[in-house]
């Protein structure tokens, strides 16, 4: 009996994770900056002097986004268009970047207290990875729900039962028994185009949880956590390329963290036309300074 060797291809980003290596940041241009706010460059100037090409955007992955500082993420976000309002299920990852959001609090406090805050954020990050698996968009109704795994954590904290909530299969994911991974759809939000809290030169796709209590399927025993009675969360997203969005989460008007959304099917279907320079659909106001994405092809 003879056996043939099978050739297995592993994406570089996945290989880095398997080896426990830190991913390198994407090789795209950023304006120089210092620690003080006065050193930060105006976003309009960054876009004019350092426009991003589609080849630049093709270098970005959900993994290497996490290697960027908060200032670099801000400069990237400011040079992106909103793209179309997504539809369907998108895998999600969130992260705290150095120099901004909740991580900035640890840097400001410094010393032992800063180290403690930083460690707590790492715990929150690990817990969030177990709970949150992404978002499911309904473009027609302009409603979104979040995919929540390991519901027992929420059940224990909130003293409620969540098994009756609507469930979906998380595409491409398997449970520890190799059965399809399921997630519970919780925390509904409204979808619309609105002004970015970071960069008002063009709109973003807004994910608004404030008044989710008037949405069908709202559960007062759990969904209030992200609404105005709870964390008062408002997200906004812009498109890096088809099927891939960079997001920002705000808690009671204060920036908290970054997140990435990715749909493999949409990404694969739109990649060739995107790289060929074809115009991309825009649901939101693009502003008077056209996003470089629609013009730059090389």
Q: Give the pTM.
A: 0.84
Nearest to 246 by CA among 51, 13, 88, 57: 57
Give residue 114's pLDDT.
44
Give residue 128's pLDDT.
66
Q: Give domain status of residue 7, yes or no.
A: no
Give residue 290's pLDDT.
64
Q: Give domain status of residue 139, yes or no.
A: yes
DSSP 8-state symbol, 35: S
Q: Are 256 and 266 in contact (CB under 8 A)?
A: no
Nearest to 291 by CA among 51, 25, 1, 4: 51
Q: Give domain status of residue 75, yes or no.
A: yes
Nearest to 148 by CA among 163, 127, 165, 131: 131
Q: Which helix (H) or strand (E) holds 148?
A: strand 143-148
CA distance 22 to 245: 22
Residue that the structure tokens 């992404």 belong to: 134
Q: Give domain status of residue 2, yes or no.
A: no
Q: Give domain status of residue 3, yes or no.
A: no
- What are the phi and psi torsion angles at 249 (to 5°)? -110, 135
The residue range of the domain holding 199 is 12-294
Contact partners, residue 120, CB within 8 Å, separation at least 6 = none
CA distance 76 to 238: 10
Contact partners, residue 178, CB within 8 Å, separation at least 6 = none
Strand partners, 182: 169
Give residue 27's pLDDT.
97
Contact partners, residue 32, CB within 8 Å, separation at least 6 = 41
Number of domains within the chain? 1
Q: Give domain status of residue 144, yes or no.
A: yes
* DSSP string for 277-296: TPPPP--S---SS--GGGT-
Q: Give domain status of residue 163, yes or no.
A: yes
- Report the 3 state secondary structure along 249-274: EEECCEEEEEEEEECHHHHHHHHHHH
Q: Give domain status of residue 173, yes or no.
A: yes
Per-residue pLDDT of the chain (298 residues; tens, 9 = 90+): 443 433 433 444 444 444 556 789 999 999 998 877 777 889 999 999 999 999 999 999 999 999 999 999 999 999 999 999 999 999 999 888 886 555 444 444 445 444 443 444 454 455 567 788 999 999 999 999 999 988 888 888 788 998 889 988 876 665 666 667 789 999 999 999 999 999 999 999 999 999 999 999 899 999 998 899 888 899 999 999 999 999 999 988 889 899 999 999 999 999 999 999 999 999 999 988 766 554 444 4
Query: Which alpha helices (DSSP H) does the chain contain, by range?
Result: 12-18, 43-49, 54-58, 70-78, 101-109, 111-131, 151-158, 264-275
CA distance 204 to 51: 19
Residue 108, CA distances (Å) to 36, 103, 125, 242 in order: 12, 9, 20, 37
Tokens matching residue 111: 């010393």
């Amino acid at each position: 009996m003879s056996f043939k060797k099978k050739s297995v291809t592993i994406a570089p980003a996945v290989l880095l994770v398997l080896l426990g290596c830190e991913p390198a940041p994407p090789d795209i241009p950023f304006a120089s900056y210092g620690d003080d706010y006065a050193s930060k460059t105006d976003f309009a100037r960054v876009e004019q002097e350092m426009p991003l090409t589609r080849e630049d955007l093709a270098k970005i992955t959900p993994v290497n986004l996490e290697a960027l500082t908060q200032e670099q993420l801000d400069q990237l976000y400011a040079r992106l268009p909103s793209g179309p309002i997504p539809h369907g299920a998108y895998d999600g990852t969130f992260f705290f970047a150095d120099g901004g959001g909740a991580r900035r609090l640890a840097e400001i406090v410094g010393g032992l207290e800063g180290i403690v805050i930083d460690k707590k954020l790492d715990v929150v990050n690990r817990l969030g990875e177990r709970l949150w698996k992404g978002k499911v968009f309904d473009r027609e109704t302009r409603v979104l729900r979040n995919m929540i795994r390991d519901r027992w954590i929420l059940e224990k904290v909130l003293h409620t039962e969540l098994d009756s909530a609507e469930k979906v299969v998380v595409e491409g994911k398997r449970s520890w028994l190799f059965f399809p991974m399921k997630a519970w759809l919780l925390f509904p939000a409204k979808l619309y185009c609105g002004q970015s809290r970071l960069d008002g030169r063009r709109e973003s796709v807004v994910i608004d949880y404030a008044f989710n209590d008037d949405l069908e399927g709202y559960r007062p025993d759990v969904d209030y956590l992200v609404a105005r009675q709870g964390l008062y969360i408002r997200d906004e997203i812009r498109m890096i390329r088809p099927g891939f969005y960079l997001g920002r989460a705000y808690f009671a008007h204060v920036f908290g963290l970054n997140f990435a959304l990715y749909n493999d099917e949409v990404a694969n279907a739109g990649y060739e036309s995107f790289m060929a320079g074809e115009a991309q659909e825009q649901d939101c106001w693009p502003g008077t300074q056209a996003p470089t994405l629609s013009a730059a092809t090389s």
